[in-house]
Amino acid sequence: MNTDTPRAGFIAVVGAPNVGKSTLINRLVGTKVSIVSPKVQTTRTRVLGIALAGDAQVILIDTPGIFKPRRRLDRAMVAAAWGGAADADHVLMLIDATRGVDANTAAIIGKLKDGGRGVMAAINKIDLVKKPALLGLAQELQSTGVFTEIFMISAEKGDGVDEVMAHVAGLMPEGPWLFPDDQVSDMPERLLAAEITREKLYLQLHQELPYAATVETEEWEDKDDGSVRIGQVVYVERATQKAIVLGKGGRQVKAIGAAARAELEDILGCRVHLFLFVKVREKWGDDPDRYRDWDLDFNA
C-alpha cells in the first residue's frame, strides 16, 4: 500500500555466474521475472524486478554473471552487469556458499573495492553447506573491508530472504514510486516470451549448445478467439547444432516448444500457439541485430 511518504530506489544484484541472482530476485518479487537454470550465463541482460515492502518500492536489477569475457557477447553481458551496479542506489553481491571466494569472486570483490562504495553481501545456497564453513566464509568476506552487511540466505528455500528484503526496503530513499503498484517487471512481452523459450533450451540441451543459441520473437498476433500466435526463431551457429535442437523427427524442438508454451499460457492467461523455427546464423554473436532486443552494448 502506498503512503504519504513513499520511498523508491534501485538495488543491483551482482555476482559470479550461477550464484543464484535470478532465483533471489524472483523470490523477492514473488513471481518469476527472470529465467533460471543450472547452467552459467543464463541471464544475458539487465532485468528489472519490482517488489513492494510497506511504503517502499524496491526495484531490483538482475544482472548477468560477471566473469572473464572471451566473446563479444560476454563483454556486452559483463558491461551490462557493471552498468547495473553503477546505476543502482545500492549494490548487493551474491556469493555461492559452495564455491566461496574463488578467483572470479575475488576479482569481483576487488573491483567493488576499487569502486569505493559500501556493498552488501549475501552468501547464498546455505542449504548446501555446513555451518562452520559458512562462518569461515563470512569472516573471509568481512576481512575484505568491502561489505557493510553480510547476509546468509537460501534464495531457493527462502531462508534469510525476508531479512534481506527488510534491510534493502529500509535503504530506499524518499520519493514517488516509479512503477504502478501492480507492475513486477519492465520486460516487453515479446522478449519475455523469447527468454522463456531460451530457459527451456538451457534446461533441455547440454554442454555448449545453450551458449551457441539465442531466441527471438518475430511474430506476435492476438487472435479474435482470445488466443495468441507467437513465432520465434532459435538461432544456432552450425548445422550440427541445428540438428541437435531439432532432434530425431523434430522431437527435441517439440519438447522445448511444449514446455515454453505451457509456461506462456500460464503467464498470459490465454491459449498460446507457439511456432519455433531453427536457423543457422554463423557468428550471430557478432551480429548487432542480435543485441537489439536485449538493449546490450554491441561495442562494449
Ligand X SMILES: Nc1nc2c(ncn2[C@@H]2O[C@H](COP(=O)(O)OP(=O)(O)OP(=O)(O)O)[C@@H](O)[C@H]2O)c(=O)[nH]1
Residue entry with cell 538495488:
11
C-beta atoms surrounding 22 within 10 Å? 26
- Rounded Cα–Cα distance for residues 105 and 118 (Å): 17
User: CB 220 → ligand X: shortest distance, Å?
Assistant: 25
- Rounded Cα–Cα distance for residues 115 and 173 (Å): 21
User: CB 176 → ligand X: shortest distance, Å?
Assistant: 30
* 57 in Cβ contact with 172 (< 8 Å): yes
Q: Which of ligand X, Mg ion, none does 261 bind, CB closer than 5 to 8 A by kind?
A: none
User: CB 91 → ligand X: shortest distance, Å?
Assistant: 15
Q: Out of 18, 105, 232, 241, which residue is the one contacting ligand X (CB under 6 A)?
A: 18
Q: Should residue 185 be labelled a site residue for Mg ion when binding is judged by CB under 5 A?
A: no
Q: Should residue 206 be labelled a site residue for ligand X when binding is judged by CB under 6 A?
A: no
- Please write down the HEC assignment for all residues of 159-202: CCHHHHHHHHHHHCCECCCCCCCCCCECCCHHHHHHHHHHHHHH
Total residues binding Mg ion (CB under 5 A):
4
How, if at all, do strands 214-222 and 228-236 pair?
A: antiparallel
Q: Should residue 22 be labelled a site residue for Mg ion when binding is judged by CB under 5 A?
A: yes
User: CB 237 → Mg ion: shortest distance, Å?
Assistant: 22
* String of contacts with ligand X for each residue 22-51, x by CB under 6 A: xx------------xxx-xxxx--------
Determine the residue with CB nearest ligand X.
Answer: 65
Comparing CB distances to ligand X, the nearer of 40 and 107 is 40
Helix, strand, coil fractions of the chain, as percent rounded to 5: 40, 25, 35
Q: Which of Mg ion, ligand X, none does 278 bind, CB closer than 5 to 8 A by kind?
A: none
Q: Out of 26, 43, 45, 214, which residue is the one contacting Mg ion (CB under 5 A)?
A: 43
Q: Which 51-70 positions form the footprint of ligand X (CB under 6 A)? A: 64-65
C-beta atoms surrounding 171 within 10 Å? 16
For 80, the enclosing helix (H) or strand (E) is helix 72-87
Q: Which 145-164 positions form the footprint of ligand X (CB under 6 A)? A: 154-156
Q: Is the dihedral of CA 145, 157, 181, 85 positive or negative?
A: positive
CA R_g for the chain: 20
User: CB 93 → ligand X: shortest distance, Å?
Assistant: 11
* 284 in Cβ contact with 235 (< 8 Å): yes
Q: Out of 8, 9, 10, 20, which residue is the one contacting ligand X (CB under 6 A)?
A: 20
Q: Which of Mg ion, ligand X, none does 17 bind, CB closer than 5 to 8 A by kind?
A: ligand X
How is residue 249 annotated by DSSP?
G
Residue 124 exposure: Cα atoms within 13 Å on the Cβ side: 27
User: CB 252 → ligand X: shortest distance, Å?
Assistant: 21
Comparing CB distances to ligand X, the nearer of 39 and 229 is 39
Judged by the rule CB under 6 A, the positions of this chain that interact with ligand X are 17-23, 36-38, 40-43, 64-65, 124-125, 127-128, 154-156
Judged by the rule CB under 5 A, the positions of this chain that interact with Mg ion are 21-22, 42-43
